[in-house]
Amino acid sequence: MVETALAWDCDLAIVGGGIVGATLAAALKDSGLRITIIEAQSPTALAQRQRAYALSLRSQEIFTQLGLWSQMLPQIAAFQNIRLSDADYGRTVAFEQGDLDRPALGYVGEHRVLVETLQGDLAQSTTAQLSPLVDWQYNTTVIATTPRGDHTELVLESEGTRQTLKTRLVVGADGARSPLRQQAGIKTKGWKYWQSCVTFTIRHQNPDNNTAYERFWYDGPMGVLPLPGNRCQIVWTAPHAQAQALLALDEATFIERFQARTQGLFTGLELMGDRLAFPVQLMQSDRYVQARLALIGDAAHCCHPVGGQGLNLGIRDAAALAEILHNAQSAGEDIGDLAVLRRYERWRRGENSVILAFTDFLNRCFSNRFWPLVMIRRLGLWGLFLLRPLRLLALRLMTGLLGRTPRFKVG
């Protein structure tokens, strides 16, 4: 291994160049801060993940502030309706576009589209003569962090070469198993669920594709999210053994099982690409910050995928931290000071806790056959069906419109 004494300074080092980390960099690209993004994968590999995500109305507002929404919109799908149902219960709760007087109730974007849009925006910032440098370090990992009072030293490794980077602030956007969080000694609380999620994409021949479905069942929920080209992203939650059995089925049998679960909702089904599975967990970090360090996205918290909240929480984390750092930089404060970073933690940890509790409640309440609880949850659905104020409150929670709105200056 080659050791070098190469070192450089930056104000902000973001560890993890995925959607959440890149959103933070995009929100700060005109802040006057020098930013380095440290990403373990190559640019191509980073964009190749076969996933799509629900994008809440709050996430749409954030990407609009970044000036990126007009680039994303032609490549993503909007849905004007949401249908909520419980197994074989006949009543369905319908959320309509007119409930919020918005063009849509949400959007669905593929991983590739979101990552490539953010990469393109940051590449323009890197080459613009008047913009502060946004430096990408691809194929690079952080192998050690050492606090040094007014900065943190990171030891980076790339293709057998080690480099040292000194930064005023480190932001961990490096996922649920965050090595940065572990190096900092930050503990977490939570649990692993008894379920895994099977994700896949279908193409269908229905005339309309503008509705998102959350279909609860006794062994776990299923989310159906529309995509361009008469496609849908499916997130099918099931007990671990059942999820593995679904992966093992031949394509024809798997489609039959899917049609049975969705009660003939779609016609002319075709499976697009591979089926993937991942276990589900709830996790909340004991703290989001310490001196010279902040955690965002899955590095700070994870929730059950019911309702498609996970990525949206991370995007709001990034936008909130950007606002805090913008304001601190403008006021001449030290962006790595613990008092500054605690403003972000107070803001986001409480709001995230509400969503973590909400998704956990939904999954536990609906993923069982305990008859008294079945009656209670169906009474709740009946209330949503009849009471518009209750329905609007639930809709605002699902679309991210409850809570504080991040504001930051770009350009």
User: pLDDT of the chain along its 411 residues, tens only?
Assistant: 444 433 458 999 999 999 999 999 999 998 989 999 999 999 999 999 889 999 999 999 999 999 999 999 999 999 999 999 998 888 899 999 989 989 999 999 999 999 999 999 998 866 554 445 799 999 999 999 999 889 999 999 999 999 999 999 999 999 999 999 999 999 999 999 999 999 999 999 999 999 999 999 999 999 999 999 999 999 999 999 999 999 999 999 999 999 999 998 999 999 999 999 999 999 999 999 999 999 999 999 999 999 999 999 999 999 999 999 999 999 999 999 999 999 999 999 999 999 999 999 999 999 989 989 899 999 988 888 888 899 999 999 999 999 999 987 665
Instruction: Dump the DSSP string for 161-188.
Output: EEEEEEEEEEEE-S-TT-HHHHHTT--E
- We report the CATH number of the domain holding residue 138 as 3.50.50.60
Does some domain include residue 267? no
Total of domains in the chain: 1
Structure tokens at 352: 């995230």
Does some domain include residue 248? no
Residue span of the structural domain in which 17 resides: 2-77+111-190+282-368
What does the pLDDT look like over 110-140, one tens digit per residue?
999 999 999 999 988 665 544 457 999 999 9
Does some domain include residue 216? no
Does some domain include residue 390? no
pTM: 0.94
Contact predicate 16/173, CB 8 Å? yes
Does some domain include residue 152? yes
Does some domain include residue 275? no
- Residue with the two structure tokens 């192998």: 143
Does some domain include residue 43? yes
Cβ neighbours, 10 Å, residue 51: 16
Does some domain include residue 404? no
CA-nearest of 241, 234, 218, 224 to 368 is: 218
